[in-house]
Amino acid sequence: MANTTSTSAKDFFAVIHERQSVRKYDPNVSISKEELRDIIEMTEKAPSAWNLQHWHFVIIHGKEAQQRLYPIANYQQQVVDASAVIAVLGDLEAHKNTDAVYDPLVKEGAMSQEIKERITQQIEAAYQNKQYARDAAFSNASLAAMQLMLVATAKGWATCPIGGFNAEQFQQEFHIPDRYIPVMLITIGKSIAPARRTTRLPVETVTTWVER
């Protein structure tokens, strides 16, 4: 199988225009673990509330593993034809990342211990609310998912977000801890057919201006 790695950089606005939801992939094109790792590394630069980085990625890489996902994703052919599928999970316990995120800042003098403790109290108070934890997991993981698709596009790969899959079966099949909740799947590979033509609503339809 061909191993294709793209290192070319593209103009940001070109990436925005080029990113489309591609559903037909060349099944003979592979993607290396190194390329996937590079994509995830850039994805991690996405913003998140309190910088808690409420995401986890399960990378389904290899035809055997993708076949396990195939029925869970409603037998969508793109799941097995893509070079890999990345499951984006939201972290329901992202508050447990607080020390890992803030202790290095305190150690290097970029943040005082007092400020860290104040932020920790805010975070712990927010996570007393399970609905907040769920909402934060979905919204912040979705920011990462969009970043992932843009990074992949910039590196010459096609992607497609998938919401049509059985999240409970996914968790069981791939042994996902209760800490994480499946948000979406993203196929990644080389396109062999154009994406479906789509349109966007006019700006006037999706905006409300408040000026006073």
Q: Of 18, 14, 99, 5, which is closest to residue 51 (Cα–Cα)?
A: 99
Pick the more confident residue, 40 or 3: 40
Out of 3.40.50.300, 3.30.365.10, 3.40.50.1970, 3.40.109.10, which CATH number does the structure's domain 2-206 have?
Answer: 3.40.109.10
- Read off the pTM: 0.92
- How do beta strands 2-3 and 29-30 pair? parallel
The residue among 150, 197, 143 whose CA lies nearest residue 10 is: 150
Domain ranges of the chain: 2-206
pLDDT in tens, 110-167: 999 999 999 999 999 999 999 999 999 999 999 999 999 999 999 999 999 999 999 9
| pLDDT for 196 | 86
